[in-house]
Amino acid sequence: MAAVFNQIAIIGVGLIGGSIARAALEKGAAGEVVLFDGNADALKRAGEIGFGKPAAGIEAAVANADAVFHCVPVGAMGATARASIAAMKSGAILTDVGSVKGNVARDFRGLGRSDIHVIPGHPIAGTEKSGPDAGFASLFENRWCILTPEPDGDADHVAATDRLAAFWTALGSKVERMDAQRHDLVLAVTSHIPHLIAYNMVATAYDMEAVTEGEVVKFSAAGFRDFTRIAASDPTMWRDVFLNNKEAVLDVLGRFEEDLTALRKAIRNADGQKLFDTFTESRRIRREIIDAGQDTASANFGRDKPKT
Amino acid sequence: MAAVFNQIAIIGVGLIGGSIARAALEKGAAGEVVLFDGNADALKRAGEIGFGKPAAGIEAAVANADAVFHCVPVGAMGATARASIAAMKSGAILTDVGSVKGNVARDFRGLGRSDIHVIPGHPIAGTEKSGPDAGFASLFENRWCILTPEPDGDADHVAATDRLAAFWTALGSKVERMDAQRHDLVLAVTSHIPHLIAYNMVATAYDMEAVTEGEVVKFSAAGFRDFTRIAASDPTMWRDVFLNNKEAVLDVLGRFEEDLTALRKAIRNADGQKLFDTFTESRRIRREIIDAGQDTASANFGRDKPKT
């Protein structure tokens, strides 16, 4: 295919940054990929793996890029963008991959380069692994990528958004445009609160003095092990998500706690009908997610396959 | 191998009962498997699949069995055991596969057949699927099976427990003997509360009037989809678990809620260190579970494999 961008810069070569670089080169969505990471070891490793050209500094990395992807924890986005904004080409795209969009959009737009297109983004993809070796080119295939362009952007801004959308489409993603605040509320539901309660469940289990850690590990296949996978995600990334999406997270968490109180009451009162009705509805949602191609229908995600 | 039991009876031919029957025959752990299910369609289907001989009634099913496995929801165990206890052979084993052991042990031991060995059991294995077609012979391989024999049982009872343990070992399981009350507390941590909060998370998501069900489904890959798998498990089974393990469930749930309140406070106060520390500890537990062979180390459970 014809490259969507002649050159892109990837700031932060972890799971997501590394996967974008690999996918962009493998699918020809970018002519050239330039890499930078504040962690010299990670940058060196990325160069060894060979999914882009390491740059000597962050300004050098962005200088000729048509699009700059900041792939660092949400709390570090402001700093990496500030450190490189002056070196960016006029007309280039400034974007990111963070799990929170409101604060990132505000930070990026406050940098004062009106000749640059600020289009924050969020590919809904990932695994519990971190680092340059964790990435792979097919990570974004059949996954959604949300872009949050300026709501009242001019024709140039719309065209830039179209180019960025074409890039993600070339990587196999389906693209959705959304208001940043709405993104933050939707993701609080589908991602941030699920991660918070998974982390919390794991913490509760290892803090139970009456149950040993060995018992928790041995009998984890009963359901708990699924939570530990989610709770093995990068701690810095998730700390920043909760610090930067406080309002939506506290809103959804409040509703989660209200619903949990109702289930607790049903258990205390032996209200089997309430429990049964709640549990029955969940199966329907699972069916929809599988039908939408967002998960496998295989039992246990296919990890305990019947041996034939 | 030499069969551990000449004949076993499986009461309830769902995921677990069906898997025991298949595994027992495939691995030669039982000479003969006789089946019964109160649902005539399920029993007919089990006969068609051919993993045992359907019996005309529950008393006929157990009459010649050396071990009777009740594989029905916890709330139905008392009724199926009561309906068949009189027909059981003297010296036979009465067992089950329920996720709660205290109430089942009490019900079974209250049936007044002191010439029968009551040894409740719980294989820590399963998937989110239900019904006779969901079972497979390798389901129990490398999984733990907990047996809760009488704490003060005589030599005969110990020998019967050894036979039942040998049966589960033949199916590929690792066997642990445990007090019924302790089982119920440990499983509240590793299974019951994780299921409850997964069900609750799904309920919260579809009750959010500000976020559409379509958005939840589309962006579920961000973490939520894992919860929907757990929450797709059999509603009757889980209703009965919560009704029959009320005390331990409410205890662990109380601790979960306390811990969640502490995380909520950390978010509200922007206490990044508390969040980071909690999230970091979870990775260690995940590592232990993988090292113990209780889960796959593959990213996303291997369901989004890098395409090669």
Give the confidence band of B305 by pLDDT, cuts at 50, 70, 90: low
Which residue among B204, B280, B285 sits closest to A235, beta carbon to beta carbon? Answer: B280
Indicate the DSSP class of residue B113: -
Residue numbers in A near B125 (CB within 8 A): 221
Chain A residues with CB under 8 Å of B275 CB are 235, 238-239, 242-243
Using the beta-carbon criterion (under 8 Å), do A292 and B186 form an inter-chain contact?
A: no
Superfamily of domain A5-178: NAD(P)-binding Rossmann-like Domain (3.40.50.720)
Closest chain A C-alpha to B164 CA, distance in angstroms: 19
φ/ψ of residue B2, rounded to 5: -70, 135
For residue B87, give how far its alpha carbon lies from the nearest alpha carbon of chain A (Å): 31
Give A-chain residues touching B194 at CB under 8 angstroms. 201, 222-224, 226-227
Q: Residue A276 and residue B236: Cβ atoms within 8 Å?
A: yes
| Topology of the domain comprising A182-294 | 6-phosphogluconate dehydrogenase C-terminal fold (1.10.3660)
Q: What per-residue confidence (pLDDT) applies to B286?
A: 86
Weakest-pLDDT range from A32-41, A188-197, B53-62, B284-293:
B284-293
* Residue A121: per-residue pLDDT: 98
Taking only the tens of pLDDT, chain A with its 308 residues reads 689 999 999 999 999 999 999 999 999 999 999 999 999 999 999 999 999 999 999 999 999 999 999 999 999 999 999 999 999 999 999 999 999 999 999 999 999 999 999 999 999 998 888 899 999 999 999 999 999 999 999 999 999 999 999 999 999 999 999 999 999 999 999 999 999 999 999 999 988 888 888 999 999 888 899 899 888 889 999 999 999 999 999 999 999 999 999 999 999 999 999 999 999 988 888 888 888 888 888 888 777 654 43
- Are A8 and A24 a contacting pair, CB within 8 Å? yes
Q: Which residues of B touch A303 (CB under 8 A)?
A: 295-296, 298, 301-303
Contact A260 B200 (CB under 8 A): yes
If you average pLDDT over residues B69-85, what whole number do you get? 97
- For residue B166, what pLDDT is reported? 98
Closest CA of chain B from A270, distance in Å: 6
Answer whether residue B54 shows pLDDT above 50. Answer: yes
Yes or no, beta carbons of A185 and B211 under 8 Å apart? yes
Chain B environment of A288 (Cβ under 8 Å): 213, 217
User: Which among B187, B204, B213 has CB closest to A256?
Assistant: B204
Q: In 3-state terms, what secondary structure has residue A146?
A: strand
Fold that domain B182-293 belongs to in CATH: 6-phosphogluconate dehydrogenase C-terminal fold (1.10.3660)
- A173-192 pLDDT, tens digit each: 999 999 999 999 999 999 99
Where does chain B hold its CATH 3.40.50.720 domain(s)? 5-178
A-B contacts at Cβ under 8 angstroms? 366
Residue-wise DSSP of A241-295? HHHHSHHHHHHHHHHHHHHHHHHHHHHHTT-HHHHHHHHHHHHHHHHHHHHTTSS
pLDDT at B138 over 80: yes
Q: What is the pLDDT of residue B293?
A: 86
Residues 6+ apart with CB under 8 A from B116: B85, B88, B90, B91, B92, B93, B94
Q: What three-state secondary structure class fits A147?
A: strand
H or E stretch covering B9: strand B5-11
For chain A, give every residue range classified as CATH 1.10.3660.10. 182-294
Contact B226 A225 (CB under 8 A): no
ipTM value for the complex: 0.91
Q: Using pLDDT thresholds of 50, 70 and 90, give the confidence band for residue B304.
A: low
* B241-257 average pLDDT score: 97
Asked if B225 and A294 come within 8 Å (Cβ–Cβ), the reply is yes
**pLDDT value for A79:** 97
Average pLDDT, chain B: 94
**Contact between chains at A217 and B288 (C-beta distance less than 8 A):** yes
Residue B153 has pLDDT above 80, yes or no: yes
Q: pLDDT class for B307, splitting at 50, 70, 90? A: very low
Q: Are A48 and A21 in contact (CB under 8 A)?
A: no
| CA pair distance A121, A123, nearest whole angstrom | 7
Tokens of A131: 């680092």
**In this predicted structure, what is the pLDDT of residue B127?**
87
| Closest Cα in chain A, distance from residue B154 (Å) | 27
Nearest to B203 among A211, A278, A302 (CB): A278
Cα radius of gyration (chain A): 21
3-state SS assignment for residue A53: strand
Identify the three-state secondary structure at position A240: helix
CB B138 within 8 A of CB B172: yes
| pLDDT value of residue B283 | 84
Q: Which chain A residues are closer than 8 Å to B232 by Cβ?
A: 282-283, 286-287
Is the whole model's pTM more than 0.80, yes or no?
Answer: yes
The answer for residues whose C-beta is within 8 angstroms of residue A76's C-beta and 6 or more apart is A12, A240
Write out chain A residues lying below 8 Å of B225, CB-based: 289, 294-295
Q: Are A285 and B205 an interchain contact pair (Cβ–Cβ within 8 Å)?
A: yes
A223, A231, A272 member nearest B282 (Cβ): A231
Give the chain A residue whose CA is nearest to the CA of B228. Answer: A286
- From B224, B275, B286, residue closest to A190, measured CB to CB: B224
Q: Cβ contacts (< 8 Å) between B144 and chain A: which residues? A: 218-219, 221
- What percent of chain B stands above pLDDT 90? 81
Contact criterion met (CB < 8 Å) for B200 and A256: yes
